[in-house]
Chain A
Amino acid sequence: MNFDLAYMLEIIPELLVYIPITLYLAIVSMIIAVAIGVVLSLLLVNKTPVLLQLSKLYISFFRGTPVLVQLLMIYFGLPQLFPWLNSLSAVNAAIIAFSLNTSAYLAEIFRAALISVDKGQTEAAISTGLTYRQAVWGIVLPQAVRNAVPATGNMFIGLIKNSSLAFTIGVTELLAQGKLLATATLQFFEAYLAVGIIYWGMTIVYSWVQRWYEARINRPYEV
């Protein structure tokens, strides 16, 4: 067995340089996905006619098709239909695809989080003279956030890893750079293992942050 540990350690710093682009893809996509997900979940919970059916169709499509197919459709397919999209950069196409895909899952997570807040909480808020909006912002959403954090965190971890799919449309991110090194030196195992370890490291650090945050927001609910 010839495993070149020295080589692997040597390329890690070269790969670390690509953490920012990977995090950029993941974080920007996550922010947009959360925004879309919140709106969708409110449509689902309030059962707004027509919009409810459209939301369900959207969710069904983006959950029912592979994210890679969505990515290719958006980057290569959309400019074919709408020529003005020719200037869409690969990074932006990736962000759009990841956002839309993740938002479909988040919508369901947020819906469940909202409906698991006891109706009595809203009623109590309204009965003290708060408006519905004040009740939702001050009482319901903070409790829904707590319900949603664990599953949302899992989606974010998934997003960090799935951002590697962006290499298929030519974004030079972490995996793309690893592949470049691998093919240059033919030390595939070392290169891909290094890439894997870096993803692993990112998810571990993120998990710490989430655990700290969960402990913080759970405090009111622990005896």
Chain B
Amino acid sequence: MIRVSGLKKSFNNNEVLKDISFQVNEGETVAIIGPSGSGKSTLLRCLNYLERPDAGSIEVGEVSIDAEKPKKVLVNQLRMQTSMVFQHYNLFKNKTVLENITYPLTATKKYRRREADAVGQNLLEQVGILDKQEAYPISLSGGQQQRVGIARALAVDPHAILFDEPTSSLDPEWVGEVLNVISDIAQKDKTMLIVTHEMNFARDIADRVIFMADGYIVEEGKPEDIFDNPQHERTRRFLSKYGRQVSTENNKEEPALVMA
């Protein structure tokens, strides 16, 4: 479970997160959508303290942390509760595919080498890329790299997985395979928070959708409600830009979407 309340974050004088509160329940998949620059990545990065929030509190799994007085030990523990899948994959370039997964296991979790290898190979099999275990990241396609990134995130067996636009830098031909892998994980009741611009994907796999704009959560709800029957003008305006992507009959009948 993830519980965030009153989260604020500024970069210099640019107030990016203005008072964010939400919750993700155990096993739930939540998609975060919103315009570019609305603070989605910043929000995700606050959850594992890649960015340090200015105010508010964050609770993930057994660890809760108060932004006013974050102890170093707690920050490290908080980071152990989640793992992250990055837009640009960020695979360790100096490690093989298998080592990308096993290195965090042997370095932090004190797995033995052989146990870690078994875990890693099992996950590589799941994401369909076991045959590349000895290869280095540079020799993989984007889709292959991202599947390794997902396996790496799964390996540490986190409380929740954070995805920041996992398909945005992929060539169109690889998007499908990566989305399929993520859908598989969602079905296994992992707790997941996914920032995405793939509206159809969000609609299909999310239990809940959060729409963010200008540093606030504008509205949240079931995918059907958000996409077919948005309550706020700001949401409608955003969705109209993606109107063609969210292709359901409902959308076409919704005048606000077409006109906005």
Give Cα distance in the complex from A223 to B144, angstroms: 14
B103–A120 CB distance below 8 A? no
Q: Mark B79-114, 1 if CB is under 8 A from A, else 0.
A: 110111010101111111000000110011100000
Give Cα distance in the complex from A138 to B99, angstroms: 11
Among B48, B104, B138, B155, chain A packs the most CB atoms within 10 A around the CB of B104
A128–B94 CB distance below 8 A? no
Pick the residue among A123, A130, A142, A219 that contacts B104 (CB under 8 A).
Answer: A130
B14 at interface, CB cutoff 8 A: no
Give the residues from 118 to 135 in chain A that come closer than 8 angstroms, CB to CB, to chain B: 118, 120-121, 123-131, 134
A139–B94 CB distance below 8 A? yes
B108–A134 CB distance below 8 A? yes
In chain A, what residue has the closest Cβ to B81? A129
What number of B residues sit within 8 Å (CB to CB) of A? 31
Give Cα distance in the complex from A118 to B94, angstroms: 12
Query: Given known contacts A128-B153, A131-B76, is B86 in contact with A120 (CB within 8 Å)?
Result: yes
Pick the residue among B84, B93, B138, B153 that contacts A223 (CB under 8 A).
Answer: B138
B12 at interface, CB cutoff 8 A: no
Query: Given known contacts A124-B90, A221-B138, is B156 in contact with A129 (CB within 8 Å)?
Result: yes
B79–A126 CB distance below 8 A? yes
A127–B83 CB distance below 8 A? yes
A124–B138 CB distance below 8 A? no
Q: Mark A180-214, 1 if CB is under 8 A from B, else 0.
A: 00000000000000000000000000000000000
Q: Mark A136-167, 1 if CB is under 8 A from B, else 0.
A: 00110011001000000000000000000000
Q: Inside 8 A of A134's CB, which chain B residues have their CB? A: 107-108
In chain B, what residue has the closest Cβ to A142? B94
Pick the residue among B88, B95, B155 that contacts A120 (CB under 8 A).
Answer: B88
Among A121, A128, A142, A222, chain B packs the most CB atoms within 10 A around the CB of A128
B216 at interface, CB cutoff 8 A: no
Q: Inside 8 A of A146's CB, which chain B residues have their CB? A: 94
Pick the residue among A121, A124, A129 that contacts B108 (CB under 8 A).
Answer: A129
B50 at interface, CB cutoff 8 A: yes
A220 at interface, CB cutoff 8 A: yes
In chain B, what residue has the closest Cβ to A127? B84
B90–A138 CB distance below 8 A? no
Give Cα distance in the complex from A138 to B50, angstroms: 18
Q: Inside 8 A of A124's CB, which chain B residues have their CB? A: 84, 86, 90-92, 152
Q: Mark B214-231, 1 if CB is under 8 A from A, else 0.
A: 000000000000000000
Give Cα distance in the complex from A131 to B78, angstroms: 12
Give the residues from 151 to 202 in chain B that come closer than 8 angstroms, CB to CB, to chain A: 152-153, 155-156, 158, 162
Q: Mark B98-140, 1 if CB is under 8 A from A, else 0.
A: 0000011001110000000000000000000000000010110
Pick the residue among B90, B94, B107, B152 that contacts A220 (CB under 8 A).
Answer: B94
Give Cα distance in the complex from A142 to B103, angstroms: 14
Q: Inside 8 A of A222's CB, which chain B residues have their CB? A: 138
A220–B136 CB distance below 8 A? yes
Give the residues from 18 to 35 in chain B that come closer than 8 angstroms, CB to CB, to chain A: none
CB distance from B63 to the nearest CB of A (A): 12
Q: Inside 8 A of B82's CB, which chain A residues have their CB? A: 127
CB distance from A220 to the nearest CB of B (A): 4
Pick the residue among B90, B109, B152, B155 that contacts A123 (CB under 8 A).
Answer: B90
Give Cα distance in the complex from A146 to B92, angstroms: 14
Chain B residues with CB under 8 Å of chain A are 48, 50, 76, 79-80, 82-84, 86, 88, 90-96, 103-104, 107-109, 136, 138-139, 152-153, 155-156, 158, 162
Please name 9 pairs of A and B residues whose Cβ atoms are closer than 8 Å in the assembled complex, sorted by A: A118-B90, A121-B92, A123-B86, A127-B86, A128-B104, A129-B156, A139-B92, A139-B103, A223-B138
**6 closest pairs, A vs B, by CB?**
A128-B104, A124-B90, A127-B84, A120-B90, A220-B136, A129-B80
Chain A residues with CB under 8 Å of chain B are 118, 120-121, 123-131, 134, 138-139, 142-143, 146, 219-223
